[in-house]
Amino acid sequence: MSSVAHEFVLGGIYMPPLLVDAILGLAASSVTTLLLNRYRLSRFIAYPPLASLALTVIYTILIGTFFIKV
């Protein structure tokens, strides 16, 4: 049996693993951005929306590599 996730079922709706990765990556990026804003560390970032997008991509890749195995 393969340990690779082929699809996830949520309420009868089939979702590809990359979509689940992207949703979790976006959630982790939102939490990180919220913490950066709360502790005023986002003032050291030149263009915060681009940094948030980069964090989303990085988290999506990490979650897909280590947790969901896309």
Residue 10 phi/psi, 5-degree rounding, is -135, 100
18-66: per-residue pLDDT in tens? 999 999 999 999 999 999 999 999 999 999 999 999 999 999 999 999 9
Higher-pLDDT residue of 29 and 69 is: 29
How many whole angstroms from its chain centre is CA 9? 19
CA distances from 4 to 38, 51, 62, 66 (A): 38, 30, 15, 11
Residue 68 predicted with pLDDT over 60 = yes
Quote the pLDDT of residue 6: 80
Q: Which two tokens stand for residue 8?
A: 């996830």
Mean pLDDT of the 7-17 span: 89
Quote the pLDDT of residue 69: 74
Query: Domain spans of the chain?
Result: 8-66
